[in-house]
Structure 1
Amino acid sequence: MPYPRRSIGDELDRATSFLTKAGVPNAPRDALLLIAHFTGRAPSTLRMRLEEMLEDKYFEFGAQSYKHDILGERAKGKPVSKIIGSRAFWNEDFRVSTDVLDPRPETERLIEVALEHPFERVLDLGTGSGCILISLLQERRGARGVGVDLSVKALDVARANSGDAGTNAVATWMQSDWFSAVEGQFDLIVSNPPYIGVDEMADLSVDVRDFDPRMALTDEGDGLGCYRIICADVQKFLTPNGRLIVEIGPTQAAPVSQLFADASLSQIEVFQDLDGRDRVVSGVLR
């Protein structure tokens, strides 16, 4: 039986209803993004053309594929970004996959804090998609950076994003277990390390727990293990007056600040995200 043609508005209503019944939060937004992806149009264009009939070509080869592979995946909890393969962050759309942590708006606070002072050489520990390093290099023309990650697949995503963003000439990507393969010193070191305690993993939403790489979420301990590793060696890799800036979980400001102090960092500051939660800790090498 042929799939009946519908207007964009009708299809948006049907998709929203389907996702709402599946318990998907923000179903209208996700329905719009998924239909835009399926039809190759911008979401803003669809909003302005709700009465327009969708072309037959969008359904003649797979209404079932559309419903089950796209809407169905979202209904199962897969994030929109992992379905369409990209996520907006700072000023770019970054490629994402199940091999990298999904860039999130709260991480943009780290970018804002880092840009408050000049830097020429930056190291991104646990770079994942590369979104932090690439965003910083785009904002600071003339700066150079190194992004390291233990995951080879994550580095493949970061390199692709770097090519898309035009930062290949100033960014180096390498496999490293934190500082193990890093050489030289940097006036800025940034990181969004795994900070979820292993006992907190079961409480995460499905779209995070099941579709972000586990190694990017938890240290399999108390959530502070990676900060301990970073702070233990950071003096070797920071220039005098260089800064370390990390993202944290909302309950970790005090212990991470203490780790900074124990590592001889001064001018330690805690910054909140837009929801008023502690999100970033910054310190300067004495």
Structure 2
Amino acid sequence: MKFILAGAVTLLVILIVVSNTVEPGNPSAAKRSSAADDGSLKIGVLDSAPVYYNQGGSAKGFDYEMALGVTKSLGIKPSFVPMDFADLFKALDEGEIDMIASQVSVTEEREEAYDFSHPYFVTYLSFTTPKSSPIKKLKDINGSRVAIVDGTAQESILKNRFPKAEIVKRKNEKAALEAVAAGKADSFFYDAPFTDGLIKHAPVPMEERIVFPSDKAPIAFVFRKGDRLRDQSNAAIDEMIVDGTWLRIKTDYFREYPLSELFREQGVE
């Protein structure tokens, strides 16, 4: 009986050790050494032009096409997951998506928590106001109420550049524009590439009043910390810049935007 009990205890210990050391056959996205270990990639995108939208039954978008170019270069099958901007980072944290491609600006705070690819664009910022607004120049922003989408880099930009502005946070673009229309904010501060599409659906007549570029706020793809796909994506982005693919996509969506010095330094003309 003693030998039987001893053998059973030994077997139990072995089973416990094995169960704690052997990786499960299908690890979650959050635990994979790379987001694309299984040859597929779930890409979180803001469901709004110019990031990702539907036109004539086909998907379109600047960030969409840039992400497609990267996955094609790496031989990875992409699937796009549209959502509000405020939900993207939580979805990445929880493994619901593997990468964010949504005009995300690189900030020091974000770099502490995530890995970023090489830049594939820079931030062009704008203040959108009702057509009757007295706001006309950047000096008019301090002391005014500014609506932003919660979770965007606009909050830190406002705090640093316009410390006297009152920040009005909303979950998405629609809610931010509604705050301006209802008189709860004086302007909507957001990325300029989105403005034309948003104005068309604004609850009151609005216009893009102030636009300015920010080379210090590059746009990049976002990955979980340590994902080796980041380095592979960097090589793909660099190749797209050198072979002219990046400039073609940029021209298709942002022809009127002057070329940033960030890309001129890489030989783009």
Q: Which has the higher strand share?
A: 2
The question of a shared fold, defined as TM-score above 0.5 by the shorter chain, is answered with no
Q: Which has the higher contact order (CA 8 A, sep 6+)?
A: 2
Structure-2-length-normalised TM-score: 0.32
Q: Name which one, 1 or 2, has greater alpha-carbon Rg.
A: 2
